[in-house]
Structure 1
């Protein structure tokens, strides 16, 4: 992005070049070379602009081994009890595509679609939390287990919940392996939920999903955050990319069905989601803690009010 100062400097340079050309018309070739070199220099400087986005992984790529980007851990974890073998010592973000198949992602998307069809937000962002039962409805939330009760046996099945638990376990395993953790010391925590985002205008602050935030600041229990994408950037929706906001630039992940993006939850991973401009983006957020006091259980059938 070209700043006002750069525009002014370039304007002065062009005026000087114009005067120079008037008195040295025979050296236009030299001027052309100078302009070319100036353009190359400007492009180099622009490439270092912190607002230029670097794409960590594109939708069309298939990442078979975790693609890991290490960043320095923030001090956020010092404000909480540390759990050896689990609390982040090496921080960063990673992406992998072959822990969950695209067919499994499609099945989980259908699960989310059925659940969210019961209600949904008036704005552009809706959630379904199978653990707590929270479901977006209009401008508020309801507990699906209390509100819909026995109707849910026509919406969800044990096969749905079994797949959900299996995928959750695989996500936990790949996080533990990537960051060299003891998986038995890593616990599922809340909120863990499905999300559906489209371009409908926001009606409440809950619909404004695009604001930068830090998971461990928002939810103190979070130590590791993961996202399982259930739809494809560029095919099912546009916009909606996940953006890590670093001090020296933005790093972007393009969603792909079956792709897992996971990262340590502290300030080292300030992030946001682009506003969706077309279509519908589905994802599943799965969150983990090192503190057993904040652990939650997997949802099971038959489902009962909580």
Structure 2
């Protein structure tokens, strides 16, 4: 993991020394591993402006990963010859890096801090323990080589994906022998993958008239690599049993993370390119979810109006609703906002956390209730914030037909205001494209579910309070963070809700005039991550209700005195 302070200091020092190109490279290196870090993005843009045209270099890039990314980009652009060149280079680099990684595992036995002072083992135990340590390290090279710098999680199915991309790329350039060879190489890792099995059979049918397809074997380096990997796994299992510790083999290659494109099922019927028959074109599969997808449940309230579902919004687990709250309720919430909001609330005190061209102000439900209890805002209005957020939670829970309780993870009323004199020639977003429970990595087409992301969030919702501003459209994009799949204009009472994972990258376009206000809601299915302030707000509401009931009980009906 990259050290933020070290790289930030390097950026500052090189900038002070007027080495702007090096400063830009240091900033670029950090930003490639931390794409959610908006301050570094701003610094990077400043360095690029001051230094002029520079070729940015990632100082911690892994060459085999750079070639893999280039190959995937060429593949996506249907530049199959270039894709083959890059992916083959990536494979050669991978196997070279694997040798280097395994060599670094050799050496003296490693201890954490002062563990060696307490280490007691006889000669044979020490030898076995040392060997097991080396073996575990070498076995883990699979994970190390599939992990991008700065990330904690590896790219799933990384090595097999090379062969998966190559099998179709070779097919498209008419090299059916190599296509079959790569398909068989992929099947070494996933022998039950139906799509690639069908592709392999199809390639065989293309070769039957000229040669015996059974003479085509998987690539030797893939077979050797996998055979060694399985032997190491067996040794680790036996060693763990003998030395009395538990070893669980990680899932290094997940077949659920197969190549996400339309060329997975063979067919000789559909469109045929000039160089031969084609594989059928299907719909690009949606990103994988951890739970069963359901939607279309009751909206619970008769005045709430359904507008669009997931299909109409070109995505997964999305819904757009209107009339969730009335015009009068919107106006009342705006009045509450004006009375309780502070600049930077919810953004670690930063009044412009995502863009220097807008000011962000926010407040929580608990703060609203406290202000209401103290008489600083009408208590009825403060309670409205609480009530509409609960209404939104119930709608989301019902519409997505969740079979367990949906809890609040965070509730935040937020207004973003366009700063005068800073709106000309804006090309930034009010809120950059992101996902709510993982770190979006457009370059890798991945969303890393690891800190500092709020990995426990499951569903999100935004309830809009006004429309008297310019810009500020909510947008969904593809994983590339560029291709917009849906754009939504906020207005009073409108609510967009969606699942919080990498299947729903989203952001907000620049607010160029006026103030845009909304109630932002994040939910979790795990009660361990319930919002603490919400629990406290529940207690405040319970106390207020009890006081109200007590006051009602003390009221004497005049008729009772007769």
**Which TM bucket (shorter chain)?**
0.5 to 0.7
Q: Which runs of 4+ in 1 moved over 6 A?
A: 149-152
Alignment of 1:67 with 2:343, yes or no, is no
Match of 2:464 in 1: 229
Match of 2:401 in 1: 180
Alignment of 1:243 with 2:467, yes or no, is no
CA shift for structure 1 position 68: 0.9
Q: 1: CA distance between counterparts of 2:431 and 2:306?
A: 29
Q: 2: CA distance between counterparts of 1:230 and 1:151?
A: 20
Note the alpha carbon deviations across 1:229-271, whole angstroms, 9 max, x for none.
0111xxx111100010126643101001111111110011101
Match of 2:155 in 1: none
Partner-residue secondary structure (3-state), 1:277 = strand
8 Å Cα contact 1:125-1:208 kept in structure 2: no
User: Which protein is richer in helix relative to its size?
Assistant: 2
CA shift for structure 1 position 125: 3.1
CA shift for structure 1 position 208: 7.2
Change (3 A) 1:152 1:274: farther
- Equivalent positions of 1:187-198 (< 5 A) are 187-190=407-410, 192-198=411-417
Q: CA RMSD in A?
A: 3.4
- Equivalent positions of 1:1-306 (< 5 A) are 64-70=305-311, 91-116=316-341, 121=351, 124-131=358-365, 153-182=374-403, 185-190=405-410, 192-200=411-419, 209-217=430-438, 218-232=453-467, 236-246=468-478, 249-296=484-531, 297=534, 299=537, 300=540
CA shift for structure 1 position 103: 1.4
Q: 2: CA distance between counterparts of 1:225 and 1:150?
A: 26
Change (3 A) 1:91 1:292: farther
Q: How many correspondences in the alignment?
A: 202
Match of 2:199 in 1: none
Q: 2: CA distance between counterparts of 1:179 and 1:265?
A: 13
Greater RCO structure (CA 8 Å; 6+ sep): 1
Q: 2: CA distance between counterparts of 1:125 and 1:119?
A: 7
Q: Which runs of 5+ in 1 are unaligned?
A: 1-61, 72-89, 134-143
CA shift for structure 1 position 109: 1.6
Note the alpha carbon deviations across 1:59-112, whole angstroms, 9 max, x for none.
xxx9822521149xxxxxxxxxxxxxxxxxx94211111221121122112111
Partner-residue secondary structure (3-state), 1:243 = strand
TM-score, structure 1 length as denominator? 0.57
8 Å Cα contact 1:243-1:253 kept in structure 2: yes
Q: 2: CA distance between counterparts of 1:288 and 1:151?
A: 25
Q: 2: CA distance between counterparts of 1:211 and 1:245?
A: 11
Partner-residue secondary structure (3-state), 2:490 = coil
Partner-residue secondary structure (3-state), 1:269 = coil
Change (3 A) 1:277 1:179: same
Partner-residue secondary structure (3-state), 1:193 = strand
8 Å Cα contact 1:125-1:195 kept in structure 2: no
User: Which protein is richer in strand relative to its size?
Assistant: 1
8 Å Cα contact 1:93-1:261 kept in structure 2: yes
Q: 2: CA distance between counterparts of 1:125 and 1:214?
A: 22
Match of 1:136 in 2: none
CA shift for structure 1 position 119: 5.1
TM-score, structure 2 length as denominator? 0.33
8 Å Cα contact 2:304-2:324 kept in structure 1: no
